[in-house]
Structure 1
């Protein structure tokens, strides 16, 4: 199985859960990211390697590479290579056996079944049998992690999953366009109404972003990121006693990752 070539499009928190599960099974994928990732849960997102050169999540380290020529050496060192290639232009040259679209854009950003013998997509925006070979459901609830081989995942409801009795209140969006300044970062205990970030508009105005509930700041977009109005910028977990959750892969990501690994193993065993 170690010779199986896998590409994962996206390095956010859900994608990182998938990558970690594959890596733990002895399968190291090549991760493709955009030039300016906007991960909220930065502490558990390999996409941070784009900014920092490397990123470590639960014992797994990613390293930024500049070309496919560097991939093999990074993998040989036990690390996960991350390449800036938003359009997946390298696919034709790399020729992966498996491609996993884990961008979680709620729409298809160019993935198709011709990219690899097995193509897997996470969440809505795809049709199994048309855009990809299989889809893994990402919506919290009874069907989370379900493998779909015909049809599509549940459509995006725009309502976050319920945690600790809170749903839409958990996620904060930019009230205006501008450049974000972090006031309270990931892991901070915040009170409802407290200023957790500020946005400086093009006109020079400074707009406060206030916590919508009391809890732990589980996610916060990085300092200096240019946001548009309505852009997701933060995530609050109402369970103040669970600080460690800010720095570990979520139950949702692990569930999805297990289904992806099932698809990968089934493909590899079938290929044999």
Structure 2
């Protein structure tokens, strides 16, 4: 079974790994200069590095659909710079998963495949996709929605060890992001972790740097640029999150049910 995943950030990667381990061939897409913060657990890094690995699953950036098919035949996840999903007709996937997490639909349609799944807010099951998977933390995280939409985006990051919005690092100015610390580093509030156009990006709380934008990424004021985990466990920075695993499970359930693999 071939699954085409729109997006290759950390949540999309958690989904892709779950599908891959269930026996699916997986092709993913991203933009030419990804803005993923949790880069150590995101296949979007293949765009920058050529290849990358997350929890033993390898991904390679490829130029077109033919190369994607060859890559998947080798047992790798294929990553295309293809935000418009231009390669989709040639690949002819069994399922399409929109995991861009844009909080709105950026062009996914219910007729793209026999199984089309929208991840998070911005989709309506039965209208622009066959099923929606809930991404909001709480009792319904990872639930498959067969009618209606996911809970609306609150704009407030999920609470981890009592911290929400204050654990997110944001660009102080327009310019190019230049990290001076690395993902996995332990930091204290006030430590400079990056600069933008000469302006420092300080750590907002004590903890471990769970995510940082890649060097050279253009940013605008207020753009998300990093993430601090107050639990302080460096190993968490290099493994798929509980949220991504839960959402991945919901997507896998929906794909199997819609393609008839569950009988």
After superposition, where does 1:210-249 map in structure 2 within 5 Å?
210-240=202-232, 242-249=233-240
Could you tell me which runs of 5 or more consecutive residues in structure 2 were left unpaired when the two chains were aligned.
none
Per the normalisation by structure 1, the TM-score is 0.94
Tell me if structure 1 keeps the 8 A contact 2:173–2:222.
yes
Residues 1-272 of structure 1: matches in 2 within 5 Å?
A: 4-200=1-197, 206-240=198-232, 242-269=233-260
**Which sections of structure 1, spanning at least 5 residues, go unmatched?**
201-205
1:124 positional shift = 0.6
| Distance in 1 of aligned mates of 2:69 and 2:173 | 43
Q: CA deviation at 1:80?
A: 0.7
Residues paired across the two proteins, number: 263
The separation in 2 between residues aligned to 1:127 and 1:207, in whole angstroms, is 41
Q: State the 4+ residue runs in structure 1 displaced beyond 2 angstroms.
A: 267-272
TM-score (norm 2): 0.97
SS at match of 1:46: coil
Report the counterpart of residue 203 of structure 1 in structure 2. Answer: none
Distance 1:270 1:81, change over 3 A: closer
Compute the displacement of 1:270 (Å).
Answer: 5.6
Instruction: Tell me if structure 1 keeps the 8 A contact 2:114–2:258.
Output: no
Answer whether contact 1:19 1:28 (CA < 8 A) is retained: no
